[in-house]
A and B are shown apart, each in its own frame.
Chain A
Amino acid sequence: MQNLIQSNSVSTGIWLVLAGLTLLTFSIGEAGMAGRQVMLGLLFIALVKGQMVANYFMGLRQAGFWWRALVLFYFLIVGGLIALAYLMGLD
């Protein structure tokens, strides 16, 4: 029972952090901020949010290491290629 209350508190905390990071992304967009650092910052926020959803909401932190690594690898590859394409667009 104690574990369950603790687990519900963790998921509530994760939800609040995810909402906070969403508002941060929205604020950056509304301020019209752009450029290399902003783009990398926004992709980093998406990476952090993705890891939180995968590990805590989907429950991958209880799965084998390679399953967590696969999701992290996905975010790094997709995010990395998106960053590369945006850097090409800035040149």
Chain B
Amino acid sequence: MNSQSAVMVYEPQAAHAVSREEGLPGDFAIWIFIFAEMLAFGVLFVAYAFTRAGDVELFNASQQTLSQTAGAINTLVLITSSYFVVRGVAAIKRGLSEQCSWWLSGAVLLGGVFVAIKLVEFHGKFAAGISLSTNAFYMFYLALTFFHFMHVLMGMIILGCVIAKAQRGGYSARDHVGVETGASFWHMVDLLWIILFPLVYVIR
């Protein structure tokens, strides 16, 4: 083997190493995005907590108008959808494209359940005349949950694209970076809700 053919052999491995930095699943770029999003939500979570410290009674009274049941069901829905995504990734690692797309479709379906429950919640609040300007609690509640809601929608679109490619046989046991990239984004959406639920709905 001469030096030129050696380069040709090792080039794909080099590209692989760049996209899978230090064993991170999926494309490295998605992790930059994930950490940026987590930072943005983190600032909002902390801002909520410190604003609450200035008017605890208002925040506690307003929090009691929220449905903890809806929040808990949505947490279970997102956790279960994340589990489905894990199973989808496990399936594609065995080269089972059809099984992978079924698990991911289940996750998208649960994403739809989350969206439906959230829309009912939002409708209830808007029908009661509550808006961003009602008080500081509702401003944070609506901003945080709507911002997260948009991420759920984006996650559903990303998983939808991954499912479409999986159904066309676009992934294999060897090449499934796209599935892991979509999965990582979806897990981030779950991770953020894990903080959001106790913070906004439960802790008083």
Q: Are B80 and A78 in contact (CB under 8 A)?
A: no
CB of B164 closer than 8 Å to a CB of A: no
A-B contact count (CB 8 A): 134
Q: Are A85 and B49 in contact (CB under 8 A)?
A: yes
Q: Are B45 and A62 in contact (CB under 8 A)?
A: no
- The segment from B10-18, B116-124, B128-136, B186-194 found at the interface with A is B186-194
Q: Are B204 and A34 in contact (CB under 8 A)?
A: yes
How far apart are the CA atoms of A85 and B140 in the complex, in Å? Answer: 15
Q: Are B79 and A86 in contact (CB under 8 A)?
A: no
How far apart are the CA atoms of A79 and B190 in the complex, in Å? Answer: 17
Q: A22-B79, A34-B204, A42-B198 are in contact. Are A74 and B53 (CB under 8 A)?
A: no
Kindly state the interface size class of chain B when it binds its partner.
35 or more
Q: Are A85 and B50 in contact (CB under 8 A)?
A: yes
Q: Number of contacting residues on A, CB 8 A?
A: 50
Q: Is the contact region of chain A dominated by helix, strand, or loop, or is it mixed?
A: helix
Residue ranges of B at the interface with A (Cβ–Cβ < 8 Å): 22-25, 31, 35, 38, 42, 45-46, 49-50, 52-53, 56, 68-69, 71-72, 75-76, 79-80, 82-83, 85-87, 89-90, 93-94, 180, 183-184, 187-188, 190-191, 194-195, 197-199, 201-204
Task: List 19 A-B pairs, Cβ < 8 Å.
Answer: A4-B90, A11-B83, A26-B68, A26-B75, A46-B198, A53-B82, A53-B187, A57-B82, A57-B85, A60-B24, A63-B25, A64-B23, A67-B23, A70-B35, A81-B46, A82-B45, A82-B49, A84-B49, A85-B46
